[in-house]
Amino acid sequence: MSNPSAPPPPPPAPWVEPASPVRKRHPWRNLLIVLAVLVLVTLIIVGVTGLTIFLTQALGGRAPDQPLVTGEAASPHAATPLECPDVCFTDDSVEDAIALETTFARLGTRDATFPAGTYDPVSAGDLYRRDAAGWESYNGTPDSCFFGPTSSPYGASLDPANGEVEDLVHFVGTHENVTRTNLVDQSVRVFADSATAVAFMEELSAQIADCPVIEIGPPGDRYTAEITAAPALDVDDSIAAIGWVRTGDPGPRWRSYTMDLQRSNLVVRMRLLTDGSLTEEEFRAFAVDYGEQLAGLEAPEGPMP
């Protein structure tokens, strides 16, 4: 069977004007055209950049594509642990372990919305039992991510033994910026001894490595976020520092940065919840500043000679 004949070409449209004759251009005219195009492109780039900066500031500085800091993996052990004849620190040491107002100010979180003393100390066991019940009720998964939403160092893993611990956890302040888009809180746990504090850091480090994604919440309002281990922090040799980054869907407080600093039998948790207007680099600088304060904290019993 032969192919059907091609349809006849459509008649020329009556409104199509004949092409204008091509003019001969001199070389200098070509150069001017190129320069004009470059200027136009530059103006477009500058305009888009300015618009991006304006929108970023107008939206509170959110930047949903902030790459994480990379580097050497953090160790749960201090290079040169502080040793004391008995315990190095007691509950009386907590007041001196509270971050200075100037440290919060450098981060831009100057407003002490819930200052130290707002809450009474609570046992680590009480906090664990409360949050373990919530984890089960809201079907948190996987269990290795139990630490993810915790606000203080009371339970690195789902272990019923954590519910029996009597160590006190002190919530020593919440600071925010003027627009309330960034929140930093700090808590201090006084462990019974250095060995149990180190064991906590070891367990937490293993749990962070085993928790790529956390899920929690009812079926109709399920929360999902990525968990990423924070690289090593440049702190004093008597301090161990490990932490993680939680990344959810862009929006209010879609990122959180958490760092636990351990010195002898003290573990201090610093946590930033942000809309992205504060970066990981800024939080890490804040934690390093605080690490200098913690390194200078004198043990009431005095270190080993």
User: What is the residue-level pLDDT of the chain in tens, covering all 305 positions?
Assistant: 433 333 333 333 332 333 333 333 444 444 444 445 454 544 444 444 344 334 444 444 556 678 999 999 999 999 999 999 889 999 999 999 999 999 999 999 999 999 999 999 999 999 999 999 999 999 999 999 999 989 899 989 999 999 999 999 999 999 999 999 999 999 999 999 999 999 999 999 999 999 999 999 998 889 999 999 999 999 999 999 999 999 998 778 889 999 999 999 999 999 999 999 999 999 999 999 999 999 999 987 666 65
pLDDT at 251: 75
Residue 8: strand, helix, or coil? coil
pLDDT at 40: 55
Q: Which domain holds residue 142?
A: 73-295
Helices (H), 168-250: 194-209
pLDDT at 192: 95
Number of domains in the chain: 2
pLDDT at 300: 77
Residue 249 shares a structural domain with residue 144: yes
Q: Within a domain: residue 53?
A: yes
Q: Within a domain: residue 301?
A: no
Residue 108 shares a structural domain with residue 252: yes
- 100 φ, ψ to 5°? -70, 150
pLDDT at 302: 62
30 token code pair: 């070509």
Residue 41 shares a structural domain with residue 80: no
Checking phi first, is residue 49 left (phi over 0); if not, alpha (psi -120 to 50) or beta? alpha
Residue 114 shares a structural domain with residue 248: yes
- Tokens 């970023």 sit at which residue? 56
pLDDT at 86: 85
Residue 31 shares a structural domain with residue 89: no
Assessment of whether the complete model's pTM goes beyond 0.75: yes
pLDDT at 249: 85
Q: Within a domain: residue 203?
A: yes
Q: Within a domain: residue 9?
A: no
Residue 213 shares a structural domain with residue 257: yes
Residue 35 shares a structural domain with residue 140: no
Residue 130 shares a structural domain with residue 271: yes
Q: Within a domain: residue 12?
A: no
Q: Within a domain: residue 302?
A: no
pLDDT at 62: 55
